Amino acid sequence: MTEVAINGHTFNIDLIVFDKDGTLIKLDVWGYQLEKWGKLLQESASLTDTELNTIYGQLGYDIETRTLQPDTPLVVGSIEQIRTIGAFLLHSRGISWTKAEQIIQVTANASLSAIPEPSMIEMIGDVPGTMKHLHKQGIQLGIATSDNRHPTEKTVEILGIDSLIACIVCADDPIPMKPAPGGLLHIGRKLGVPSARMLMVGDSIGDMACGRAAGVAGCIRVGPRRKGATEFADVTIQSIDEIKVL
């Protein structure tokens, strides 16, 4: 086991599992993808600006400030969940369910499910440097994300950490999504590490609840201190750079 120190707390662990969006990279990437989707959606469904902005808000995107709201479908939901919500929102505006699903499928495939451009991805801290340091000290590294596998693997390549990650669990894998603990338990089994010797690092309440349900050694939250989220975490940090090997 390796002892790590995080903001005054110490943990003896063999494995750290990270969320991706909001933890390793800024959520802004979803804003870019969403606005691209919104333009396609507006054209295909003949939505007014007001109707489109309402849909943005219902999904968790503030178009005025171009920010994603915490613990909303866009932040914690899978692509499939967002598609279903999108179809429902179109249906509630008088579009037949079959037509709504068709519109969502075509427009989402060209935007939300697309591989993000490298210029759209902004890291939170020195992700490659921290990952290399942890890996060098013998800590195994995994990722459990609500994104689909293809864009996740491409993003990991863009970040330059693909050779460091031992296991990735994604929303389109046949494993229950966060906050269910299945992804963490799967990674632990595959890498031979019991949950009591791993950390869960993420930005959402769902990430923390997942770690708690799995029985990990610690739940580490990345982001500003925020009521309703901080209470679920053992430690809150600004970036993974604060994880130090003793």
Query: What pLDDT was estimated at residue 224?
Result: 82
**Cα distances (angstroms) measured from residue 82 to each of 92, 184, 190:** 15, 23, 29
Query: What pLDDT was estimated at residue 51?
Result: 93
Q: How many CB atoms lie within 10 A of CB 11?
A: 22
Tens digit of each residue's pLDDT (9 = 90 or more) over 29-79: 888 888 989 999 999 999 999 999 999 999 999 999 888 888 888 888 888
Tens digit of each residue's pLDDT (9 = 90 or more) over 75-93: 888 888 999 999 999 999 9
Would you say residue 227 has pLDDT above 70? no
pTM for the whole structure: 0.88
Query: What pLDDT was estimated at residue 30?
Result: 80
Write down the mean pLDDT value for the chain.
Answer: 92
Strand partners, 245: 4
Q: How many CB atoms lie within 10 A of CB 233?
A: 24
Would you say residue 120 has pLDDT above 90? no
Would you say residue 215 has pLDDT above 90? yes
DSSP code of residue 31:
H
Report, as an integer, the average pLDDT of 178-191.
96
Domain range annotation of the chain = 2-26+122-245, 28-109
Query: What pLDDT was estimated at residue 32?
Result: 83
Report, as an integer, the average pLDDT of 128-149.
96
What one-character-per-residue DSSP string does 55-118 give? HHHHHTEETTTTEEPTTSHHHHS-HHHHHHHHHHHHHTTT--HHHHHHHHHHHHHTTTTSPPPG
Rounded CA gap, 164 and 22, in Å? Answer: 20
Task: Pick the closest to residue 135 from 191, 182, 175, 184 (CA basis).
Answer: 191
Based on the number of CB atoms within 10 Å of its own CB, is 122 exposed (0-12), middle (13-18) or buried (19 or more)? exposed
Q: Looking at the domain 2-26+122-245, which fold is it?
A: Rossmann fold (3.40.50)
CA triple 129-134-139, angle to 5 deg: 155
At 232, the pLDDT band (50, 70, 90 cuts) reads confident
Query: What pLDDT was estimated at residue 229?
Result: 59
